[in-house]
Amino acid sequence: MYQTIYHRASTVDEAISLFGKSSEAKFLAGGQTLLPVMKQRLASPSDLIDLGKIKELQGVELSGDVLTIKAGTTYFDIMQSADVKKAIPAIAYLTSVLGDPAVRYRGTIGGSIANNDPAADYPAALLALGATVKTNKRSIAAENFFQGLFTTALEDGEIITAVSFPVPAKAGYEKMRHPASRFALTGVFVAQTKSGEVRVAATGASQSGVMRVPAIEAALKANWSPAAIDSVSISASNLLADIHGTAEYRANLIKVMAQRAVTAAG
Amino acid sequence: MGVEGIGARVVRKEDKRFITGKGRYVDDIKLQGMTHAHFIRSPHAHAKVKGIDSSAALKMPGVVAVLTGQQIVDDKVGNLICGWAITSKDGSPMKMGAWPAMAPETVRFVGQAVAVVIAESKNLARDAAEAVVVNYEELPAVADVQAAIKSGAPQLHPEAPGNQVYDWVIGDEGATDAAFAKAANVVKLDVTNNRLAPNAMEPRAAIADYDSAEEHFTLYTTSQNPHVARLVLSAFYNIAPEHKLRVIAPDVGGGFGSKIFIYPEEMVALWASKKVGRPVKWTGDRTEAFLTDAHGRDHVTHAEMAFDANNKITGLKVKTYANFGAYMSLFSSSVPTYLYATLLSGQYNIPAIHAEVVGVYTNTTPVDAYRGAGRPEASYLIERLMETAARQLKVDPAALRRTNFITQFPHQTPVIMAYDTGDFNASLDAAMKAIDYAGFAGRKAKAKADGKLRGIGVSCYIEACGIAPSKAVGSLGAGVGLWESAEVRVNPVGTIEILTGSHSHGQGHETTFCQLVAERLGVPISQVSIVHGDTDKVQFGMGTYGSRSAAVGLTAILKAMEKMESKAKKIAAHALEASEGDIVIENGEFKVAGTDKAIAFPMVALAAYTAHNLPDGMEPGLKESAFYDPTNFTFPAGTYICELEVDSGTGKTSFVNFVAADDFGRLINPMIVEGQVHGGLAQGIGQALLEHAIYDANGQPVTASFMDYAMPRADDLPSFNLSHTTTLCPGNPLGIKGCGEAGAIGASAAVINAITDAIGKNNLEMPATPDRVWRTIHAA
């Protein structure tokens, strides 16, 4: 009833071919969400296609002003990467406060963004940095990739191969950790591009998942400083509310985390 | 004390097997022909069970049986009992609804079992359980204690009108009213003590094995008190007579009270093993633990304290509503009464106290003893009241406590307890010195200049543990005696087995109990082993809870040791041709005092068993047993002081320092004591900042996994600064008070007093989550 056939793909093409042969297959990346959900019997894929051993999905590359992280790279490898620390230290920091050590050894950036949990950390980085999601079929701007809670632009059988980030002039991330799950109760990523554009994204806050925060972007565009955010008003409507944080609290956290992220960005 | 005697920091003997994965827990045990149980649990907080259709499930692979609540009732397995009778103020006995092991007609909390699938594997049982169709008719539910007592609230049990189990009082109402009438100042406080889920690391598990030829059951179970389990299963649940029921509690991974109780799953496993003729195993998962392990705390209280013009307390009035959940668990009735209201005097001289406690049914998981059991609720209430009073009366909180400390012992409180000894000034002094209390104002000012809100909070706790004199608890309604038994078996080669009715599930008895033997005989602890947790090996015992194992269990061992030593001295005296009164025991030898004549302990043991040359009329062998019934509770007490900072932008609390000065009487192994205090403080701080078992208005649990229920982790906690002041307990020969619960009892008030000091607002409920603190800071 809950049997699953496990496949270990060696290449992206093989993974796609295996996917096409199954009725209800799922790709398995780090398994940090899918496996617990399967254990709870809330998901029962006929086939699990493990992407973890595909060499072309591993590694980090820095080429000029573009940092590319392959989709199967684990959080641990990302936070250890000299290229990441050099090009966008805010990503190394974000990764270091993501989950706990056990999660960081197994979880992957591709798995995180494909799942698009509304409290995950990476979607904020992708959206604020204006990253591009590369799949076996196409390139998708982060703006278009994230489409609400647990929803992305990915089509059935499409595999994320890499995420490329334009190296910004400045970037910073701060989050309030969810006291139980250690996801972001609210996290804010701020970035100033080399062309002077300011982009701010918040995760864990909105009922529709990761979102840009235009009011803070405008304030920081005028004056890149924590104090510039003091007068910004964030509405609590359409924000998440649960036992760990009211909508008003999350609205406050968007401001406070943004201010601290600006301080961290320098 | 010797390198392994009393007071030595001996490394735990049991840790080698635990940290190398060699522990043997219930789930590690596999029996020939064993089947596996999976329970079908109610998704509704309150519903009628209209029918159970297991026909499809019975056809599925590997299914042995599907058994229902109606069948267990038909087979006359007894309903679950509550072992402590409480009488309401009108003289009526407490009003209890029936609790069958599986619900035949009505479910009253989410997670209550209605049926069980027995199959060849756990997964096959789980698969088949999904094919069992249970037809429920939902009923209105109530989860909140105050909603449950309103007229028109959904009613749980016909036996308990208005959902009221009892309305119990203690103390002198007239004297208390008179004190308030004359008071110079009255301080009032409303307090909620948040419901907690115990979360032992090892979930509950049971394996039942019925031998039809012998009509004998063996139960392996995660229990803190296997003999009590056998007694209850035999005397009340009609499983089998005691000599036909062996209960084994092997290595058990934490209890915190939650494994005192005999749960439906053990009863069903025993009953089912006879029905299917094969061993039945059940191992709970974490969600089942959240849904079915007895929860802790959950009080709503209004309290008032009267002061005279000199800031001396003259009276205390308390009214508490205690949420019992859907059924009365084994010792639940005693927790908010005799384990709570009897401690309401705290460390203070309070001439008049009156407390009323209303016990209430709700559609939630049953509530019972959890680390501290009633005493954390009392201590939190009193220490929040003292802090509130200091703020209202504009006096230093430490000074107000000092003004009111009990300093003469013994001290009879107005609420039953007679404190035997203590030095509350000593522990307050030690804690204040450790945290540099005098320098706090300067540190607070400096923090303020840096934009930080810094606070300090004091908590002076007292508890009653080492329960307890059997006669006393019997007169208060307890269904059992609370003594302990021990047996000392010396083998012919001089190694020693100590059989104890205490049960170790993390406390380190295998080390500390050996230290007593090392202290008395001077033999290495490697020659001593501790036997516990098996009703076929140990004759009887009351188990481990209420910080009682050292004060009561170890004293029983001491009594048995004394008997054994007395006989051994006679044998030694005979062998050495000396007078028995001249024999002393030193470094593993029996010596004639003042001479070089000696006989090694193993030679005495050998002489006892060869019996070639014993004193005339002496029986061979060297084995003695004892029962010990304490003469009073013990009263560990101390002061905890917490210094912390609150981030006004996020409401998040960061610890600066946390000091504990405890008086536990004599310490057997200070390292193990420190570990106990660390764990207790973690749970107390967890209650203050993080933990809360929440139900929605319909009785659906919101926190049934670690994704939602915030357990404290190492990085949520400060590095603790511990110290001890000592007054020896006069009630037992070793002077021991007990240390297992203190941290959980005293810590939460220190934390909340510190946060409310930092933010300058006194009203703040637990858990003080960042959201709640932020909203309190910014509330108009």
Mean pLDDT of chain B: 97
Interface TM-score (ipTM) > 0.85 = yes
Name which of A175, A253, A254, A263 to mutate to probe chain B: the one with the most chain B Cβ atoms within 10 A of its Cβ. A253
- CA-wise closest residue to B482 among B409, B541, B399: B541
* Cα-trace Rg, chain A: 18
| Inter-chain residue contact A180 with B769, CB threshold 8 Å | no
The model's pLDDT over B188-214, given as tens digits with 9 standing for 90+, comes to 999 999 999 999 999 999 999 999 999
pLDDT at B668 over 60: yes
Angle of helix B770-778 relative to helix B742-759, nearest 10 degrees, comes to 30
* Among candidates B702, B711, B771 on the partner chain, residue whose Cβ is nearest the Cβ of A249: B771
Of all helices (H) and strands (E), which one includes residue B591?
strand B589-592
Local confidence band at A134 (pLDDT 50, 70, 90 cut-offs): very high
pLDDT of residue A89: 98
Q: What are the chain B neighbours of A179 within 8 Å (beta carbons)? A: 690, 710, 716, 769-770
CA geometry: angle A21, A159, A58, nearest 5 deg: 120
Return the number of other C-beta atoms located less than 10 Å from residue A88's C-beta.
Answer: 24
Residue B776 pairs in a beta bridge with: none
Local confidence band at B467 (pLDDT 50, 70, 90 cut-offs): confident
Residue B39 pairs in a beta bridge with: B116
The percentage of residues in chain B with a pLDDT greater than 70, rounded to a whole number, is 100
Residues in chain B: 780
Residue B205 pairs in a beta bridge with: B283
Question: Domain A57-166 is in which class?
Answer: alpha beta
Beta strands in B328-480 (DSSP E): 353-360, 411-412, 418-419, 453-462
* Residue B719 main-chain phi, psi, to 5 deg: -85, 120
Contacts of B360 by beta carbon, 8 Å cutoff, 6+ apart: B145, B148, B149, B163, B164, B165, B321, B322, B323, B324
- CA-wise closest residue to B299 among B233, B360, B384, B250: B360
Is B192 buried (19+), middle (13-18) or exposed (0-12) by CB count in 10 A? middle
The model's pLDDT over A202-237, given as tens digits with 9 standing for 90+, comes to 999 999 999 999 999 999 999 999 999 999 999 999
Kind of pairing between the strands at A184-192 and B216-221:
unpaired
Q: Is A102 on the interface with B (CB under 8 A)?
A: no
Q: Is A4 on the interface with B (CB under 8 A)?
A: no
The model's pLDDT over B532-560, given as tens digits with 9 standing for 90+, comes to 999 999 999 999 998 899 999 999 999 99
d(CA B747, CA B737): 18
CATH fold, domain B31-139+201-254+259-292, is: Aldehyde Oxidoreductase; domain 3 (3.90.1170)
pLDDT at B2 over 80: no
| Inter-chain residue contact B775 with A246, CB threshold 8 Å | yes
Residue B49 near residue B133, CB atoms below 8 Å: no
Q: Is A42 on the interface with B (CB under 8 A)?
A: no
* Among candidates A176, A180, A259 on the partner chain, residue whose Cβ is nearest the Cβ of B770: A176
pLDDT of residue A219: 98
> What's the whole-number mean pLDDT along residues B493-498?
97
The CATH superfamily of A170-265 is CO dehydrogenase flavoprotein, C-terminal domain (3.30.390.50)
- Helix ranges (DSSP H) in B171-327: 173-181, 226-235, 264-276, 286-292
Kind of pairing between the strands at A66-70 and A160-166:
antiparallel
Please state the domain extents for chain B: 15-20+483-628, 31-139+201-254+259-292, 299-468+632-778
**Which pair of tokens denotes residue B486?**
């021990």
Return the number of other C-beta atoms located less than 10 Å from residue A222's C-beta.
Answer: 10
- CA-wise closest residue to B734 among B586, B510, B551, B556: B551
Of all helices (H) and strands (E), which one includes residue B497?
strand B496-500
Residue B416 near residue B343, CB atoms below 8 Å: no
CATH fold, domain B299-468+632-778, is: Aldehyde Oxidoreductase; domain 4 (3.30.365)
**Which pair of tokens denotes residue A66?**
């573009």
Q: Residue B744, Cα to own-chain centre: how many angstroms?
A: 10
pLDDT at B59 over 80: yes
pLDDT at B772 over 70: yes
Beta strands in B155-249 (DSSP E): 164-171, 185-193, 205-211, 216-221, 245-248
Q: Nearest-CA residue of chain B relative to A241?
A: B771
The model's pLDDT over A28-47, given as tens digits with 9 standing for 90+, comes to 999 999 999 999 899 999 99
Quick check: helix, strand or coil at residue B581?
Answer: helix
d(CA A120, CA A133): 16
Question: Chain B closest CA to A181's CA: distance in Å?
Answer: 5
The model's pLDDT over B125-171, given as tens digits with 9 standing for 90+, comes to 999 999 999 999 999 999 999 999 999 999 999 999 999 999 999 99
CA geometry: angle B343, B345, B350, nearest 5 deg: 160
Question: Chain A closest CA to B150's CA: distance in Å?
Answer: 25
The percentage of residues in chain B with a pLDDT greater than 90, rounded to a whole number, is 97
**Which pair of tokens denotes residue B212?**
């039809």
Q: Is A180 on the interface with B (CB under 8 A)?
A: yes
Q: What are the chain B neighbours of A41 within 8 Å (beta carbons)? A: 126, 130
Q: Is A245 on the interface with B (CB under 8 A)?
A: yes
pLDDT of residue A2: 83
Question: Domain B15-20+483-628 is in which class?
Answer: alpha beta
The CATH number given to A5-50 is 3.30.43.10
Domain B299-468+632-778 in the same topology as domain B15-20+483-628: yes
Q: Is B709 on the interface with A (CB under 8 A)?
A: yes
pLDDT of residue B1: 55
d(CA B179, CA B190): 20
Residues 182-211 of chain A whose Cβ lies under 8 A from any Cβ of chain B:
185
pLDDT at B480 over 90: no
Q: Is A254 on the interface with B (CB under 8 A)?
A: no
d(CA B156, CA B362): 7
**Which pair of tokens denotes residue B337?**
């009464």
The model's pLDDT over B261-274, given as tens digits with 9 standing for 90+, comes to 999 999 999 999 99
Local confidence band at A1 (pLDDT 50, 70, 90 cut-offs): low
Return the number of other C-beta atoms located less than 10 Å from residue B149's C-beta.
Answer: 18
B767 upstream amide cis, omega within 30 of 0:
yes
pLDDT of residue B780: 78
pLDDT at B66 over 80: yes
Give 3-state DSSP helix, strand, coil % of chain A, rounded to 5.
35, 25, 40
**Which pair of tokens denotes residue B396?**
């230093």
d(CA A181, CA A154): 26
The model's pLDDT over B318-348, given as tens digits with 9 standing for 90+, comes to 999 999 999 999 999 999 999 999 999 999 9
d(CA B65, CA B413): 57
pLDDT at B103 over 90: yes
Q: What are the chain B neighbours of A246 within 8 Å (beta carbons)? A: 771, 775
Q: Residue A242, Cα to own-chain centre: how many angstroms?
A: 22
Q: Is A243 on the interface with B (CB under 8 A)?
A: yes
DSSP track, B14-65: THHHHHTT----GGG---TT-EEEEEEE-SSSSEEEEEEE-HHHHTSTTEEE
d(CA A212, CA A191): 11
